[in-house]
Amino acid sequence: MTGQPLSSPNSKENVHMTVPTIRADSSVVMPHGSMPGSAATNSIVLICPGERPAVHALAQKSPLVLVPILGKPLLEHWLDHLTDEGVRHVRLLASDRPEQVRTWLSEGVHWELKVELVAEGRELTTAEARANYASNADADSRVKPVEVSVMDFLPGAPERPLFRSYVDWFLAVNNRLLQTASAPDRIGVRTLRSGVWVGLHSRISADAELRAPCWIGENVLVGPRAIVGPGTIVEDGTVLSADAEVANSIVGPGTFVGEFTEVKHSLALGSTLINWQTGSCTQVPDAFLLSPLSQCAATVRSDHWPGRVTEAPVRAEFCEVRGKRWFDPTYPIRVLRVWLINRTSFDNRP
């Protein structure tokens, strides 16, 4: 039984996702690694990172706490970690688009802990959060004091900050690669060979080249003669067309990388291309080179491509000519051409 989202009468909104879960036999499922009344049943306050000007492009479509890292949002990495540590209550302080965080919590995975979302007008400091919320801790001496953490790093890796620069982001995510690939909860991740991992339902052309280390997420399509790696992460729902090359880069979810497009030492997020070494950021005007595959990430399988082709006119792709944006009527035809070239060239890797 999971608690329903609640709204408080004051100015702050709260979302309660209440667990333990009650089974049909009325037994109670306690959090992993904890027992009723043990010292492990502690609480924690998590502060969602607000504005981080050094990496502003990462937060274009969602708050930083929901940016995908190796197939899971940053927040999911934290909640998984805290569940494993036996934490039973999390108070989540969100100042950047808290409604998106609330929606994600209500529609996503339900953890064996209680998550309370508090919408703040601005990002609190750790001292302010401790003063405002630590006093609400259980007075029982067996319960650990409330901890306060800012999610500026992946759990267990405070020495690897995420948001100081794009360099830090790229290095921190790549540093997490081996640990994530070997995690027991990563169902369906295949190790094609040492340092090369592929997620569920991804289709790799038989003559594509995968260079270790590289991570290919779920529902990814890699075209013929495409080169992926080394040092590359391709997030879920992405298409790499024929003869594309991606090296020392991260391709964001739902991104289309066109034929003969080279992405090197970059972060490719839809049509946004960031050189993570220099921090330069540009919008690619040609949707056939680099673009969002769709408005929302969808399953990328060969039998779903016709649906994407028919969806293309609705996306109303535009091109930029002399500073003005014009509807590009050739976009659906070009997408259809890529599909026809690729559809017979894919083979499931063992």
From CA 27, how far away is CA 29, in angstroms rounded?
A: 7
Which DSSP string corresponds to 62-83?
A: S-GGGSEETTEEHHHHHHHHHH
Q: What pLDDT does 312 receive?
A: 39
Cβ-Cβ contacts under 8 Å for 14 (sequence gap 6 or more): 6, 7, 8, 116, 117, 118
Number of residues assigned to the chain: 350
Burial class of residue 111, CB neighbours in 10 A (0-12, 13-18, 19+): buried
Answer yes or no: same fold for 14-163 and 187-347.
Answer: no
Q: What pLDDT does 44 receive?
A: 94
> Band of the pLDDT at 135, cuts 50, 70, 90?
low
**Average pLDDT taken over every residue of the chain:** 78
Cβ-Cβ contacts under 8 Å for 165 (sequence gap 6 or more): 54, 55, 279
pLDDT (mean) for 112-131: 94
Q: Which two tokens stand for residue 331?
A: 């976009």
Least confident of 52-61, 101-110, 176-185, 334-343: 334-343
Least confident of 28-37, 156-165, 181-190, 288-297: 28-37
Least confident of 16-25, 68-77, 82-91: 16-25
More confident residue, 60 or 111: 60
**pLDDT digit string, tens, across residues 188-206:** 899 999 999 999 999 999 9
- CATH architecture assignment, domain 187-347: 3 Solenoid (2.160)
State how far the alpha carbon of 307 is from the alpha carbons of 204, 226, 253, 292, 339, in Å. Answer: 20, 23, 18, 16, 11
The domain locations on the chain are 14-163, 187-347
pLDDT at 224 over 70: yes
Q: Which two tokens stand for residue 189?
A: 């991740």
233 DSSP β-pair partners: 215, 250
* pTM for this prediction: 0.73
pLDDT (mean) for 63-89: 95
Of 3.90.1070, 2.40.50, 3.90.550, 1.10.20, which CATH number belongs to 14-163?
A: 3.90.550
pLDDT (mean) for 127-149: 70
Q: Look at strands 281-283 and 290-292 and give their pairing.
A: unpaired
pLDDT (mean) for 4-30: 35
From CA 273, how far away is CA 343, in angstroms rounded?
A: 27
From CA 274, how far away is CA 267, in angstroms rounded?
A: 5
pLDDT at 333 over 80: no
